[in-house]
Structure 1
C-alpha cells in the first residue's frame, strides 16, 4: 500500500523548473544552495513540540510529521539575499493522538524571515502557537483551522497582523476572500510550494511571493519588507509529509 501511494505521488508532484524564475532577473541565475533529501535524520532542523506524542522522522526521502498539538520545525541556517524555498507537501489525516481532531486535514503552515526583536535567531519555544506572538516574522497558514482558512500574516513582535487571506463564511475577517479549491489541502494530493523573498526593484516592487503549484496565492510590496531570517514548518493536530526541500538563490 505504501509503495503504491509513493508511486501515485510521483505523478502528482508539480515541479517548478529552475529556469522559470521571472523574478530572478538576468544576468543573475537561480542556483541551489542548500537542500535536505530527508534520508539522514533531523540534524539540520530544530524541533519545538507542544506534545511529547508528536512523531517527526526524516528517512527514505520523506519528512513525516504526525502531531496531536502545536509543532514547529526550524531550519537551522539563516536565509538572506534573493532566495526561494521549495518543497513538495502532502497532507494526510491527523493521527489518532489528535483526539477530537483525528482524521482532519489541516495546517500546512510556515514562518520565514523570522528574527527576534533584537535581531537574534529565534529562541526556543514550547511549540504552543501563542508563544510565537512576540517573534517578528512572516507567516502563511495553508488549509489552517481544519482546512477553512488560508492567511498571510506579519508578526510585528507585538501583534499578529493579517495582510491578506481566504476564509470560509462566518470566520472570514474583513477583506478576506472566499476559500477556493486552490486554497485548500486535498488528501493524497502532493503539491509543490514555493516562497520567494527578494529585494524589491523599481521594475518589480514585489518582495514576497507565495505559490502552491501553478497558483500564486500571495504577493506583497511592502515599503519596509523583512528580507532575512529563519524558516520553519508550523502545524498543529495534523499529519504532513514533506519531500525535496531546497533553497535557491538568485545571484
Structure 2
C-alpha cells in the first residue's frame, strides 16, 4: 500500500503543496549490475511497496490543478505549474542513478510534451540542509532553484524545442554547457525513456535509451548532494528508480 501525505503551507507567494510520498525501504547489497562490473545497490523504488516515511518530498507550484502521487506502481507528476520531487536521502561519491520516465500525452488537463528534467548533486551553499525552511524558501517555481549548486538536464524543455545541460554554481550563474535543438534529441510522446546518470571521479554523464547525450569532466566537481525529478505544466510517469554505488 502507498501512502501520500499532503501538507499545505502558506507563503508570501501563495499556497505551497508539499507531498511526502512514502516508499519502501530496500537493503543495500552488492551484486553484478549487468554492466560487467560490481556495484552496490543503495536505493530502489518501484512505487508499489509499503512505504518508508519521508523518502520523497515534492515542491509544487500553486498553479492550476496539480497532483503528485504514486499510482499503479509509478510516480505521477500531473501539474499545472512547476514541480520538483526530491529524493530525501543525500547521495555522495561515485554513483549511478537510473529510472524509466514517460511523458504522457493524451487527454489529461495538463498534458504537454515538454520538460523531462532532473537535478543531481544539488546543495544549498547557504544551508547544509537542502530542505531547511522548505515551505518558506521554495514554492516549485523554476527560478527559485537558481541559488542552488547542482547539475541540471532539461530534456525537451521550452515546449520540446531544446535539450540542455547546465551546471548551477549556487550564486545565480548557470552556464549552458551543451545544447541540442534537433528532433532526434527531443522528446517523443508516450515513449518510456531509460535514463542513466553517472557521477564518477569528477566526470558526470547523462544518457537516454543507451545514448550518452552529455559527458562532462568538471574541473570543480560536485561530489555530494540531492537528486530531484523536475517538470512543469505536464503529466509524467516515473518508475524503476535505482541508485548504485560504483565500486
**TM-score when scaled to structure 2?**
0.78
- Take 2:207 and 2:33, find their aligned partners in 1: how far apart are those partners? 15
Aligned to 2:42: 33
- Take 1:215 and 1:108, find their aligned partners in 2: how far apart are those partners? 16
Residue 153 of structure 1 pairs with residue 166 of structure 2: yes
Q: Which has the larger strand fraction?
A: 2
Q: From 179, 183, 191, give the equivalent of 1:180.
A: 183
Structure 2 counterpart SS, 1:120:
coil
The answer to which of 185-194 and 117-126 deviates more is 117-126
Post-superposition offset of 1:227: 1.4
Q: Structure 1 unaligned segments of length 5 or more: list them.
A: 1-16, 168-178, 201-206
Residue 223 of structure 1 pairs with residue 236 of structure 2: no
Deviant stretches of 4+, over 3 Å: 40-43, 94-98
Aligned to 2:154: 141
Residue 50 of structure 1 pairs with residue 50 of structure 2: no
Aligned to 1:66: 78
- Take 1:230 and 1:162, find their aligned partners in 2: how far apart are those partners? 21
- Take 1:121 and 1:216, find their aligned partners in 2: how far apart are those partners? 32
Q: Deviations over 1:162-183 (max 9, x none)?
A: 111113xxxxxxxxxxx232x2
Residue 235 of structure 1 pairs with residue 231 of structure 2: yes
Post-superposition offset of 1:97: 4.4
Q: Structure 2 unaligned segments of length 5 or more: list them.
A: 1-31
Structure 2 counterpart SS, 1:229:
strand
Aligned to 1:107: 115
Structure 2 counterpart SS, 1:70:
strand
Instruction: Note if contact 2:62-2:139 (Cα within 8 Å) is conserved in structure 1.
Output: no
- Using CA pairs below 8 Å that are at least 6 residues apart, which structure has the higher relative contact order? 1
- Take 2:72 and 2:120, find their aligned partners in 1: how far apart are those partners? 26
Post-superposition offset of 1:121: 2.9
Residue 246 of structure 1 pairs with residue 242 of structure 2: yes
- Take 1:119 and 1:151, find their aligned partners in 2: how far apart are those partners? 27
The size of the alignment, in residue pairs, is 207
Q: Which has the larger helix fraction?
A: 1
**TM-score when scaled to structure 1?**
0.77
- Take 1:61 and 1:240, find their aligned partners in 2: how far apart are those partners? 13
Structure 1 counterpart SS, 2:89:
coil
Q: Deviations over 1:85-123 (max 9, x none)?
A: 00001111287544xxxx420101011000111461323
